[in-house]
């Protein structure tokens, strides 16, 4: 998947996508050496992410990956279905 818009910050990258109404917030994990490691989250309801050019508390600005979300046509965002 190569989404047209994302945001990168101190804790990693956020890609923007469309979701079906049935989707809800959820975490994705994998087992690594017997330990469960979170590798991603789907944030849908009552969650938010901070957008560029906001400055992270560590002093570095969040930045866009690909195009700014404001410059991307909604229908060009990938669709995540159940």
Residue 52 clears pLDDT 90, i.e. is over it: yes
Q: What is the DSSP letter of 67?
A: S
Looking at the structure of the chain, the number of domains it has is 1
Question: Among 67, 15, 17, which Cα is nearest to 40's?
Answer: 15
Q: What is the pTM of this model?
A: 0.74
Q: Record the tokens describing residue 57, joined without a space.
A: 């508390």
Q: How confident is the model at residue 17 (pLDDT cuts 50, 70, 90)?
A: confident
Residue numbers of the domain that contains 47: 5-80
**Residue-level pLDDT at 6:** 92
């Amino acid at each position: 998947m190569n989404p047209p818009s994302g945001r990168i910050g101190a804790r990693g990258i956020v890609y923007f996508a469309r979701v079906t109404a049935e989707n809800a917030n959820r975490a994705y994990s994998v087992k690594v050496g017997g330990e469960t490691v979170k590798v991603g989250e789907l944030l849908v309801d009552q969650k938010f992410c901070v957008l560029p050019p906001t400055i992270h508390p560590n002093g570095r600005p969040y930045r866009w990956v690909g195009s700014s979300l404001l410059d991307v046509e909604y229908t060009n965002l990938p669709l995540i279905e159940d």
